[in-house]
Amino acid sequence: MAIRDADLHGDPRTLTATLARQGLWISPKHRPQLVEYFNNLDVEDRVTFVPRTGWHNIGNRRVFVLPDEAFGAAELVLLNTDTASPYGYKGNLADWQNGIGRLTAGQRLGVLAVSTAFAGPLLHLSGQDGGGIHFRGSSSTGKTSVARAAASVWGPRSYMRSWRSTANGLEGAAVLATDTLLVLDELGVIESRELNAAVYQLAIGSGKGRARRDGSMRVPPTWRVPVVSTGEVSIASKIEEDSKRKAKAGQEVRILDIPADAGRGYGAFDSPRAGEDSAAGLADEMVRSAEERYGTAGPAFLQAIIDRGIDKTIDDINTSIETFCANSVKFGTDGQIRRAARRLALIAAAGELAHEFGIVPHWSQGEATQAAEFALQQWISSRGGGEAAEVISALRAVKLFIEKYGDSRFESADYPEGKILNRAGWRKGKGDDQLWLFLPEVFKTEVCAGLDSTLVAKVLHDRGVLIRPENERGYQMNQWIAGLNRSHRTYTVTARIFASHDDKVLEVLEVLECARFTGTSENAPESGNTSNINVLPTIPTIPTESASKTTSEPDPDGWSFNTEDGDDLDLSDPAHPLHRAQQ
Ligand SMILES: Nc1ncnc2c1ncn2[C@@H]1O[C@H](COP(=O)(O)OP(=O)(O)OP(=O)(O)O)[C@@H](O)[C@H]1O
Ligand SMILES: [Mg+2]
């Protein structure tokens, strides 16, 4: 075992308790002498502790750390965490290739999931944040089976966690999945509130700052976590189950909601096994295979990156990403689509690289790219089209309100009618010339619940759906109401609302998967406003190295995170106190 230098400057009981747990008997009265003894030892061996998995800069080298191995390291590097390692392997690489590698070939969502598992180590190299994909679809379509295939790249069955256990122990899971993969099954089991907090934490890549024993605040742990998730509903709609909470556009482009339907009548699969008319057998074989042969492909991928050279790998993936993004312009140029395309481009690049490295020989060249393109198409159509999520939300909110209430809450403005309960406004004209005149308060509080009403009005106006007098700046206008015998300020919506959008929007009424954009969500880093339609919420920055260096003393409790600069733990200085170790 290794003893950290910092442990020799704190309470001797912490050190002796650790040694006692390892079986060393120490008389309590000799504790100070033991510490003194260790302090006077001159040790030449250097051990570098790191607080999380993934890429680190150690001694001017870029090193990838897993619990049992450090790729590219010139010295001993140990992962320092209390959380049990989820990694492990069984069988050799050829076994995995003949298992999951072969079973996923020709299955676009299978290839996508496994490519996402390879994309973890490339996130940092390509400068992307954590995030990933969520397979959404009805029961027994193969979501969990495909997620198990992804998990098998890095570890055993237990590598896949449930969303529930992760909300409770997110920090531990995240620091151990940094730059590899977090596989989260069954979104349904988590409470909406917990999910909101978990997704937010995953997105910002940082844990909670906690007080140390001396009352000062500890720098929170940081991570960069790639995710493969499954569930019957989308992450956004689960967050929105609690009507006061709205998912954010930033959340939606981080974990992309992909329908778990390859569109060929076999659920998440493109085809069943030869001679079978259902994909059930394939799903079961995938799970069995992931159970029997796992954990070898991820490390092989890392070794191949080191062997090729990190800089060369970076150049290759950047070229691949640019090509994918250039080709995906045909799907739309909205900012959110571009971000989703970039995320899928990295997944494609990872899958192609794994194929080039010979790790997935059963896949054909270009297969991962096709899988990612398919996912992008699916993502775009499931969110309702190629427009910004906010535009879709705005159009949908108004359209649904009219469809839902129709005449029951809109009185005729042309002639007085009997009293209408809970009036939302008036209706005027007929057919293509029909207008809906919304009472401003109803428009703001009911129609636009959870949305920024000014932004909704702007979106409607920009699309010619909301009319207002030419010379006015606001979005309301005076309309003559016969029953009142006077004019009333209203938001005036034309019948174009029904021509303005694909009917697919209505199909997703129950599943409000499109992002909302106001600052109503708690924990929101920043409120939306009318000028930032395509701008995503600002993500709080991870403490910088210079900021954390203000605590120059190694901290016995949280020392391991105190030199973290958010991207790399730079321990290149040999005189750094963290290098001193006693063996
Ligand atoms: N595409 C499919 N077609 C037919 N049967 C399938 C398909 N995918 C899975 N199954 C069957 O459903 C069982 C469960 O598969 P899996 O756990 O992957 O489904 P799931 O989509 O995650 O379902 P749930 O939403 O209930 O978790 C499998 O054992 C298999 O028998
Ligand atoms: Mg499942």
CA 353 from centre of chain:
22
Q: If you measure from the C-alpha of residue 161 to the centroid of ligand 2, how many angstroms do you get, rounded to a whole number?
A: 12
Q: Ligand 1 atom 26: the closest Cα is on which residue?
A: 139
Q: If you measure from the C-alpha of residue 143 to the centroid of ligand 1, how many angstroms do you get, rounded to a whole number?
A: 7
Q: In this structure, what DSSP letter does residue 444 have?
A: I
Give whole-number Cα distances, 386 to 80, 108, 294, in Å: 45, 22, 38
Question: Residue 570 — pLDDT band, cuts 50, 70, 90?
Answer: very low
Domain ranges of the chain: 93-382, 389-507
Which whole number is the average pLDDT over 211-218?
Answer: 61
Which whole number is the average pLDDT over 364-385?
Answer: 88
* Residue 146 Cα: closest atom of ligand 1: 18
Q: Ligand 1 atom 16: the closest Cα is on which residue?
A: 142
Q: If you measure from the C-alpha of residue 382 to the centroid of ligand 2, how many angstroms do you get, rounded to a whole number?
A: 20
What is the three-class DSSP state of 275? coil
Rounded to whole angstroms, the Cα distance separating 252 from 334 reads 14
Q: Which of 181-185, 232-236, 446-450 has the lowest mean pLDDT?
A: 446-450
**Six-digit token string for 65:** 């750390």
Decide if pLDDT at 195 tops 90: no
CB of 478 within 6 A of ligand 1: the answer is: no
CB of 145 within 6 A of ligand 1: the answer is: yes
93-382 maps to which CATH number?
3.40.50
Give tens-digit pLDDT for 246-280: 666 556 668 899 999 998 999 999 999 999 999 99
CB of 142 within 6 A of ligand 1: the answer is: yes
Contact 380, 330 (CB under 8 A): no
Q: If you measure from the C-alpha of residue 149 to the centroid of ligand 2, how many angstroms do you get, rounded to a whole number?
A: 13
Closest CA to 340 of 279, 251, 269, 223: 251
Rounded to whole angstroms, the Cα distance separating 470 from 472 reads 6
CB of 283 within 6 A of ligand 1: the answer is: yes
**CB atoms near residue 479 (< 10 Å):** 17
pLDDT for the residue 185: 95
Helix (H) / strand (E) element for 369: namely: helix 367-382
CB of 230 within 6 A of ligand 1: the answer is: yes
CB of 279 within 6 A of ligand 1: the answer is: yes
Rounded to whole angstroms, the Cα distance separating 50 from 484 reads 73
Contact 262, 269 (CB under 8 A): yes
Q: Where are the alpha helices (DSSP H) in 22-75?
A: 31-40
pLDDT for the residue 472: 76
Nearest ligand to the C-alpha atom of residue 281? 1
Total H helices, total E strands in the chain: 21, 18
pTM of the model: 0.69
* Residue 148 Cα: closest atom of ligand 1: 18
Closest CA to 237 of 546, 514, 14: 514
Q: Ligand 1 atom 31: the closest Cα is on which residue?
A: 280
Which whole number is the average pLDDT over 95-117?
Answer: 98
CA 359 from centre of chain:
26
**Letter string b/e over residues 558-582, b meaning 16 or more CB atoms within 10 A of that residue's CB:** bbbbbbbbbbbbbbeeeeeebbbbb
Q: In this structure, what DSSP letter does residue 451 have?
A: S
Which whole number is the average pLDDT over 558-583?
Answer: 31
Question: Residue 245 — pLDDT band, cuts 50, 70, 90?
Answer: low
Closest CA to 296 of 52, 436, 100, 462: 100
Nearest ligand to the C-alpha atom of residue 283? 1
Closest CA to 203 of 243, 239, 255: 255
Q: pLDDT > 70: what percent of the chain?
A: 79
